[in-house]
Each structure stands twice: as structure tokens, then as C-alpha cells.
């Protein structure tokens, strides 16, 4: 690759893709966005609840459309998700670390077992937050409100790279879903240019084992740690 700013492929869905691209530019990278999936809403009605739990900003955005309430306590994984909850108008927002286990611990310390907690999010959500809390005696349920729909074919930049033309220096993988889609595309090619991957977690890295030449895994499943992994990947 050239001595210009390292080119980084961003694969997450919008609006997160544009947010990541902005941060990459601010950090001196050249981002290129080719999302591997899109967020599709699931047509459901919100049940009765006393408190809410969110594990993604997409969950916050979608649920804020389904329910006009903003007075219930809200518990979030990570400060980015909590920030989104405040932006859409929730009045009482608390955030845990960037892991479902930390969120479960926060909820257990914060509410009583008679509080009806609703976790709303991706139908493919990993980590059974509601199940764990229910087993501990809490009234918790999960409501799938959106799904990630894979693109049918890779974008032009990724397609060229997988065909052997080096078009970017690294690719950022924010989820196991994106990793599975990318691995599927890579499996269909007979030759590819070197693939360097910065993955947000071990689960997001695993599907690309055997396809990627180098993989750096974030020390924690959050944005800052993923950017640190990208820096290690590109600069050592």
C-alpha cells in the first residue's frame, strides 16, 4: 500500500458506520464504508415494563419509536449506548461496562425482584441477559425489535480486495454477524489480497480464522479498545 493515510474498511451498518468513519478520519485514517448488513425493524408492540435494558444504540433508537415513554429507568451496556438513550430523551440512564455481565450486575444492584425489566434489541443478541436475571429471581424478558440483514454481495472495494487487488490496509469488524458474512464472501474466492482484521471480540474474530492473515482483538468489547487494536494491527 502507499504511504498515504492507512485505508480502513468499515463494515458495520448505519448510522454506526458513519460515526466510525468520522472517528477514523479524526485519528488520521482514510475510512471506506461498505456495510455488510443493514438493520431491519421487527414489527412488534412494546409490552408493559417498569425498567429497560439496552445492549446497543440500535436497540435504543428502535425502541424509542415503539414506545413514547421516557420516564422508566434505563440500563445500558457501555457509555455510547447510554449516550444514545439520553439523546432520544430517556430521563434516568445508567451505564455499565462494555459487557453483558457488567450490565447484569448493575441491574441486580439497582432494582428489586418485583420490577418488570424489558431487554429490547437484536433478535440475534448474544448473552442471555433476561434469562440470567430470571434465574436470579428477577422479572426480566427479552423483546427482539430488529434484525441484521446481510447484503447479497460484497461492495466493489471488498470484492476487488477478495479478488486479489489490495484496496485497503485493514478491516474493522464490530460483531460476529459481520465476521460470518465476510467469511462467507471470502470462502467463495480462490485468491484474495492480504486481509488484516481488527475485531471487537474473540467471537467476532473466530469466523475469520483461516481467511485473515493477521487479526488483532480488542482488549474490551468497545470502540476505544477496537481503535487500539487497529493501531496495533497497522503500526505494531
What CATH number should be reported for the domain holding residue 104? 3.40.50.10090
Cα–Cα distances in angstroms (integers) from residue 208 to residues 6, 134, 186, in the given order: 21, 34, 9
Q: Is the same domain home to 100 and 31?
A: no
193 occurs within a structural domain: yes
User: Which 3 state secondary structure label does DSSP give 107?
Assistant: helix
- Going from the C-alpha of 11 to that of each of 40, 152, 154, the distances in angstroms are 16, 14, 10
- Pairing of the two strands 139-150 and 37-41: antiparallel
User: Are residues 24 and 69 located together in one domain of the fold?
Assistant: no
Q: Please give the tally of structural domains in the chain.
A: 2
pLDDT, tens only, 82-136: 999 999 999 999 999 777 889 999 999 999 999 999 999 999 887 789 999 999 9
Q: Structure pTM?
A: 0.84
When pLDDT is averaged across residues 62-67 and rounded to a whole number, the result is: 96
Angle at 186 between CA 185 and CA 191, to 5 degrees: 130
φ, ψ (nearest 5 deg) of residue 194: -50, 135
Choose among 68, 17, 78, 76: nearest CA to 45: 68
Sheet holding 196-199, edge to edge: 30-33, 7-10, 170-173, 196-199, 214-217
Q: What is the pLDDT of residues 13-22, one digit of tens each?
A: 988 899 999 9
Domain match, 77 and 159 both: no
In the chain, the percentage of residues whose pLDDT exceeds 90 is 85
Residues 227 and 172 in one domain: yes
Output the CA angle 165-170-203, nearest 5 degrees: 120
Structure confidence at residue 3 as a pLDDT band (50, 70, 90): low
Q: Residues 211, 187: one domain?
A: yes
Q: List CB contacts of 63: < 8 A, sequence separation 6 or more.
A: 46, 52, 54, 120, 145
What is the pLDDT averaged over residues 212-231? 94
223 in any annotated domain: yes
**Cis peptide leading into residue 15 (ω within 30°):** yes
The verdict on 140 and 158 lying in the same domain is no
Q: Select from 106, 125, 147 the last residue of a domain.
A: 147
C-alpha cell at 29: 485514517
Q: Residue 29, exposed/middle/buried by CB under 10 A (0-12, 13-18, 19+)?
A: buried
If residue 101 lies in a helix (H) or strand (E), which one and from where to where? helix 100-110
Per-residue model confidence (pLDDT) at position 2: 46
* Residue numbers of the domain that contains 130: 46-147
Select from 206, 207, 184, 186 the least CA-distant residue to 195. Answer: 186
Only one residue has cell 481488527, namely 198
Amino acid at each position: 500500500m502507499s504511504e498515504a493515510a492507512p485505508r480502513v474498511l468499515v463494515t458495520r451498518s448505519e448510522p454506526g458506520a458513519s460515526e466510525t468513519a468520522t472517528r477514523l478520519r479524526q485519528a488520521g485514517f482514510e475510512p471506506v464504508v461498505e456495510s455488510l448488513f443493514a438493520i431491519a425493524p421487527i414489527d412488534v408492540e412494546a409490552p408493559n415494563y417498569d425498567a429497560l435494558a439496552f445492549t446497543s444504540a440500535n436497540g435504543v433508537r428502535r425502541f424509542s419509536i415503539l414506545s413514547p415513554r421516557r420516564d422508566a429507568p434505563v440500563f445500558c451496556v457501555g457509555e455510547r449506548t447510554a449516550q444514545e438513550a439520553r439523546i432520544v430523551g430517556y430521563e434516568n440512564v445508567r451505564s455499565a461496562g462494555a459487557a453483558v455481565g457488567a450490565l447484569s450486575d448493575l441491574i441486580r444492584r439497582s432494582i428489586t425482584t418485583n420490577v418488570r425489566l424489558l431487554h429490547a434489541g437484536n433478535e440475534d443478541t448474544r448473552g442471555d441477559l433476561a434469562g440470567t436475571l430470571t434465574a436470579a429471581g428477577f422479572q426480566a424478558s427479552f423483546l427482539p425489535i430488529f434484525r441484521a440483514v446481510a447484503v447479497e454481495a460484497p461492495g466493489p472495494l471488498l470484492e476487488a480486495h477478495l479478488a486479489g487487488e489490495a484496496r485497503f490496509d485493514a478491516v474493522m469488524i464490530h460483531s460476529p454477524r459481520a465476521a460470518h458474512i465476510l467469511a462467507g464472501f471470502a470462502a467463495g474466492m480462490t485468491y484474495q489480497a492480504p486481509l488484516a482484521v481488527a475485531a471487537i471480540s474473540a467471537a467476532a474474530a473466530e469466523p475469520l480464522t483461516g481467511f485473515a492473515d493477521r487479526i488483532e482483538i480488542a482488549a474490551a468489547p468497545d470502540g476505544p479498545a477496537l481503535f487500539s487494536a487497529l493501531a496495533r494491527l497497522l503500526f505494531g
